[in-house]
């Protein structure tokens, strides 16, 4: 089978949170599901933003859970998705070519590309560098 389109390799099982989800629950979902990106979606399934494991590390105090933890450190666990998410997200569509998707990710230095419907902005998938490496491995 020749893989040609984003829809051929995109992950369809998405983990999403709402804009009001707190960083503690976001971090727990990422750890439990072993994912590096969570998508923030609205009530109609539209993409609002994305949060990476790097964002989590940037916003959670490194002292949380340590003997040096203060109330200010614990307060970082209450930050909301809407506050920490990347908002100007580059997206692709299911009909886009894998070449276009790969070129976009390389040129923008990004590791995940949300996939939205061509008409509208409803989230339908996600392509990561891992997905693209699997494609490469399948042809080697």
> Which domains, and CATH codes, for the chain?
6-139 (3.10.580.10)
Helix (H) or strand (E) holding 83: helix 81-84
Q: How do residues 95-134 score in pLDDT, each as one tens digit?
A: 999 999 999 999 999 999 999 998 877 899 999 999 999 8
pTM of this structure = 0.85
Distances from the Cα of 129 to the Cαs of 53, 82, 83, 132, in angstroms? 14, 25, 26, 5
Distance CA 39, CA 123 (A): 9
Contact 59, 27 (CB under 8 A): no
Distance CA 63, CA 137 (A): 40
The two tokens of residue 14 are 């998405």
Q: How do residues 13-61 score in pLDDT, each as one tens digit?
A: 999 999 999 999 999 999 999 999 999 999 988 999 999 999 999 988 8
The residue with tokens 């750890």 is 31
The residue with tokens 């070449």 is 99
């Amino acid at each position: 089978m020749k893989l040609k389109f984003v829809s051929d390799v995109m992950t369809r099982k998405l983990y999403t949170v709402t804009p009001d989800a707190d960083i503690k629950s976001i971090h727990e979902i990422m750890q439990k599901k072993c994912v590096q990106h969570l998508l923030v979606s609205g009530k109609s399934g539209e993409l609002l933003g994305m949060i990476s494991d790097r964002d989590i590390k940037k916003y959670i105090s490194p002292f949380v859970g340590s003997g040096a933890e203060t109330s200010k450190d614990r307060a970082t666990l209450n930050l909301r998705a809407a506050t920490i998410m990347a908002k100007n997200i580059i997206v692709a569509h299911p009909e886009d070519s894998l070449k276009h998707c790969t070129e976009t990710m390389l040129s923008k230095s990004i590791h995940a590309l949300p996939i939205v419907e061509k008409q509208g902005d409803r989230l339908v998938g996600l392509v990561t560098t891992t997905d693209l490496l699997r494609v490469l491995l399948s042809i080697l």
